[in-house]
Amino acid sequence: MRRSGKGAGRLAGSPRVTSEVASSSASRQDVFRTHVEPEIEVLLRVGQTLTGSWADGEDLVQETLIRAWTAIDRFDGAHPRAWLLTILRNAHLNSLRRQRPDLTDDTASFDRARPAFGATAPPGPEQTVIDRALDEDLERAVARLDEKFRTVLLLIDVDLLTYTEAAELLGIPVGTVMSRLSRARDRVRLQLRATGALPTTATTGRTGSLAQRKR
């Protein structure tokens, strides 16, 4: 289930993050605000994709921000999103290992540990936005995908990561990301055509199946 970036400002100003930033030098604060804060909305979307829960996604991003802050002196200023996504992935894997000591660092274990699409979205006003964003036919089509295809589809078409960013996040080759994305889009398209939700002559582009439908 997808969310807007309303939590970005709240996370940037959360007590844990604020206390870390406030006790630092101005130069470190500037680096954090210039390179890290603009990426928080993306981190929130990806965090939710990985955890299946908005609340857990926020917790994961907060942990990512704390880790980014402690390592900010070692950041060279290049490719902040890739740097932050790597931190987020490692934080998520560490969290999974605490919950499941048998979990290894291989991609298959990482895939198996992720919740199903739309697992635990909280009720409230945000749910209304979701209901408008993804109709039932589309959500059912996405939910029927195998986990490895669904995750790539969400990361690329909804979270708007690049192929390279998604590949690095998942620890798989770019070619595998592209192959899974193509197969995922084809399967969603077939499901929507089978239910009559998509005309049989319709085609979709990079974001046609999800991102455009959610607006």
* Residue 125 to residue 133: CA distance in whole angstroms: 13
Q: Which CATH number fits domain 134-215: 2.40.160.50, 1.10.150.170, 3.90.1300.10, 1.10.10.10?
A: 1.10.10.10
Which range has highest mean pLDDT (5-19, 119-133, 181-195)? 181-195
- pLDDT digits 0-9 by tens, 21-61: 555 566 888 889 999 999 999 999 999 998 888 899 999 99
* 3-class secondary structure per residue, 21-34: HHCCCHHHHHHHHH
**Which token pair is 136?**
């039932």
Query: Where are the CATH 1.10.10.10 domain residues in the chain?
Result: 134-215
- What is the value of pTM for the model shown? 0.62
The H or E element spanning position 139 is: helix 136-143
Query: For residue 104, what pLDDT is reported?
Result: 55
Measuring CA to CA, which residue among 183, 180, 188 is closest to residue 208?
Answer: 188
Query: For residue 18, what pLDDT is reported?
Result: 55
Confidence of residue 184 (pLDDT cuts 50, 70, 90): very high
